[in-house]
């Protein structure tokens, strides 16, 4: 496969963009080698500037549930362009998409749109603090909520359990009100609430984690969080930036029948454009300016082109599509796991509906420590490049989840499964 044009462009990019990219993981540090410079996408495929085509399982990090350039989404964008692109005022598309979300996600009565998932979670945290007049926020190790200062915490060591930042440049004071606990550890959460409950503003969680590979919560974990937050009058925040509208029109919360106070959205609701949103009960959302004292604003928030693309995407989703994607992925995971077992390979695939990841050990992963132990940059790098040469594009890092779109078929998955099992010598 010829990559000469991508190599030359990436070299040029490195002169003008930091590390040649606008988001670190794109630099392929997790898999080594030269990033593809992509020219265009169509359906399930992306094409690089050398003319190579790849079946895309990254899908703009899960945003493109309908694949690339879906006709309905493209039509909505073109229609929107006729009205010009940005006004900084209220427009009909933002009302329509908010109405759609409120109608389908029972815990959400009102929505505020922002421009990224990071902004959504950052603002939801501010809102939780404004509503409760408390400061402490609980998050979970391995859950990613974007790059706001006080959410870039990793669990600290030792009895003091002070969180450290996963980034330089974050003053320790910004983290003194963030506690990062192990995912799925009910006992630990209850202990912390017992001790600090009265000071806890909110708990934020990926209800199905996707940023340490896919980790489905153990039975009762989310319910425990819901109960304990009700008891301590803290705000419960679901970060559905990745899971929102990926598996159900009511989002993951409807599947688990657990209702958060605030939900964060992103990715799919923008139809491939930059977007974020957060929403919840009216009594909580009313604390936001202009109605209340919690300030949050944005020049481009609710941009009409983005809203049109998002609404066209959401309107194209339906139960049959979700069921089909879920069933296809379940079958794929069962088949590759049977093949891995038959070959005695120390690897397994895991999925939640159309979110998938690979674990380089047999034991189930329930938290971030397990996920780290089941990761392997070394094996994943070789696998990634092996698949690339076969025309398959997975996310370029081992702890990222990969995704299916409505354009992927059983044939695509059979081919991916065949390639994954063919690679057996290296696991």
Ligand X SMILES: Cc1ncc(COP(=O)(O)O)c(C=O)c1O
Enumerate residues 162-221 that contact ligand X by CB under 6 A. 206, 211
Member of 54, 100, 144, 238 binding ligand X (CB under 6 A): 144
- Which residue is closest to ligand X by CB? 117
**Window contacting ligand X (CB under 6 A); options: 85-93, 237-245, 375-383, 408-416:** 237-245
**Window contacting ligand X (CB under 6 A); options: 181-189, 224-232, 235-243, 340-348:** 235-243
Exposed e or buried b per residue across 262-277, where buried means at least 16 C-beta atoms within 10 angstroms of its C-beta: bbbbbbbbbbbbebbb
The two three-digit tokens of residue 270, written as one number: 């923008």
Member of 20, 67, 142, 146 binding ligand X (CB under 6 A): 146
Q: Considering the complex, state which of residue 121 and residue 229 has its C-beta at the smaller distance from ligand X.
A: 121
| Per-residue binder mask for ligand X (CB under 6 A), 250-289, x = binder | ----------------x---------x-------------
Of 56, 141, 150, 239, the active-site residue reads 239
Closest approach, Cβ 139 to ligand X, in A, equals 11
Enumerate residues 94-133 that contact ligand X by CB under 6 A. 116-118, 121
Q: Is 2 a catalytic residue?
A: no
- How would you classify the pairing of strands 235-239 and 262-266? parallel
Enumerate residues 50-89 that contact ligand X by CB under 6 A. 61
Of 57, 144, 278, 352, the active-site residue reads 144
Helix (H) or strand (E) holding 203: strand 200-205
Is 63 within 8 Å of 355 (Cβ atoms)? no
Q: Is 267 a catalytic residue?
A: yes
Of 57, 267, 353, 368, the active-site residue reads 267
Cβ burial of 237 (10 Å; 0-12, 13-18, 19+) is buried
**Window contacting ligand X (CB under 6 A); options: 40-48, 106-114, 142-150, 175-183:** 142-150
Is 96 within 8 Å of 311 (Cβ atoms)? yes
Q: Is 352 a catalytic residue?
A: no
Total binding residues toward ligand X, as defined by CB under 6 A = 15
Enumerate residues 283-342 that contact ligand X by CB under 6 A. none
- How would you classify the pairing of strands 402-403 and 136-140? unpaired
Cβ burial of 23 (10 Å; 0-12, 13-18, 19+) is exposed
The number of beta carbons lying within 10 Å of the beta carbon of residue 312 is 23
C-alpha distance from residue 350 to each of 25, 280, 347, 370 (Å) = 22, 31, 10, 13
Is 296 within 8 Å of 121 (Cβ atoms)? no
* Binding residues vs ligand X (CB under 6 A): 61, 116-118, 121, 144-146, 206, 211, 239, 241-242, 266, 276
Active centre residues (catalytic)? 144, 239, 267
């Amino acid at each position: 496969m010829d990559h000469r044009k991508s190599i030359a462009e990436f070299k040029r990019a490195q002169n003008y963009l930091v590390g040649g990219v606008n988001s670190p993981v794109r630099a392929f540090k997790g898999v080594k080698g030269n990033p593809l410079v992509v020219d265009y996408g169509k359906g399930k495929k992306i094409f690089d500037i050398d003319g190579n085509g790849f079946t895309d399982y990254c899908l703009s990090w899960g945003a493109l549930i309908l694949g690339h350039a879906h006709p309905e989404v493209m039509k909505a964008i073109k229609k929107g362009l006729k009205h010009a692109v940005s006004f900084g005022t209220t427009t009909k598309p933002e009302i329509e998409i908010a109405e759609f979300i409120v109608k389908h996600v029972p815990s959400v009565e009102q929505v505020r749109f922002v421009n990224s998932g990071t902004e959504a979670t950052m603002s939801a945290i501010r809102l939780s603090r404004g509503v409760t007049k408390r400061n402490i926020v609980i998050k979970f190790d391995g859950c990613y909520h974007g790059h706001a200062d006080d959410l870039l915490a990793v669990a600290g060591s030792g009895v003091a359990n002070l969180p450290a930042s996963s980034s330089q440049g974050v003053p320790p004071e910004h983290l003194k009100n963030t506690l990062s606990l192990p995912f799925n550890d009910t006992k630990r959460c209850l202990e912390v609430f017992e001790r600090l409950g009265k000071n806890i503003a909110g708990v934020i969680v990926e209800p199905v984690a996707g940023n340490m590979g896919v980790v489905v919560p153990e039975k009762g974990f989310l319910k425990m969080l819901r109960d304990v937050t009700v008891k301590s009058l803290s705000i419960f925040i679901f970060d559905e930036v990745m899971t929102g509208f990926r598996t159900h029109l009511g989002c993951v919360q409807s599947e688990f029948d657990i209702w958060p106070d605030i939900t964060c959205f992103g990715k799919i609701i923008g139809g491939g454009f930059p977007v974020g949103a957060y929403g919840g009960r009216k009594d909580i959302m009313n604390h936001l300016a202009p109605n209340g004292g919690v300030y949050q604003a944005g020049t481009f928030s609710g941009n009409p082109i983005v809203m049109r693309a998002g609404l066209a995407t959401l309107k194209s989703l339906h139960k049959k599509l979700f069921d089909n994607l879920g069933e296809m992925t379940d079958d794929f995971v069962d088949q590759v796991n049977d093949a891995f077992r038959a070959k005695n390979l120390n690897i397994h695939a895991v999925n939640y509906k159309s979110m998938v990841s690979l674990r380089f050990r047999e034991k189930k992963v329930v938290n971030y420590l397990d996920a780290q132990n089941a990761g392997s940059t070394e094996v994943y790098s070789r696998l990634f490049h092996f698949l690339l040469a076969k025309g398959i594009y997975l996310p370029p890092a081992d702890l990222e989840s990969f995704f299916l779109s409505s354009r992927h078929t059983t044939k695509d998955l059979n081919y991916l499964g065949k390639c994954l099992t063919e690679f057996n010598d290296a696991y």
